[in-house]
A and B are shown apart, each in its own frame.
Chain A
């Protein structure tokens, strides 16, 4: 079962210069919300930003990670 720390580390490792805050929405280790701030989001649409974060987890979304709610923001590094 993934933890909020696992998700945070995977996002921050995959997206250079990003900061992720992850909370477990249900306390059951499968519904998460992540707020992700990354320099590379600048110039990307919201759809592209969310796709970028979802891509970090591949098929884990819909698998062990039942739901990942996202808030994404661009920030200069």
Chain B
């Protein structure tokens, strides 16, 4: 383990959850349009996922981006691999690849655009801040 507790917590969360979304806000209350669209795509497929709100501590985003080599939020990980942000997740939702990646059936009539968030997802995971 490194001497960076926040990075360790993030690594642990990514490895322990098959599907995990790092976002601004919570699935039931996204604080950014890009996070909201990503949540909406996952929820439209009935995916179950862990969610981490990166807003409470700027170091979460800093460390996450250092791990993933990806500068923006949201970030979706499946089986430990970065799938992408809002653009890629939306593109994959529309093409059916997202359902495939998640091992789910695509919706019978997939809408052209990712729908607006409706159903809340799994409860967000709390990353404990051990530094303060």
Interface set of A (CB-CB < 8 Å, partner B)? 46-47, 50-51, 54, 61-62, 67-71
Contact = CB atoms under 8 A, between A and B. Distances in A.
A54 B84 contact: no
| 3 shortest interchain CB distances as A-B pairs | A61-B71, A54-B71, A70-B87
A49 B69 CA distance: 13
B86 to A, nearest CB: 7
B31 to A, nearest CB: 13
- Size category of the B interface is 10 to 19
Contacts of B34: 67, 69
Interface of B: 34, 61, 69-72, 82-88, 91
B84 A62 contact: no
A62 to B, nearest CB: 6
Contacts of B84: 46-47, 50
Contacts of B70: 47, 50-51, 54
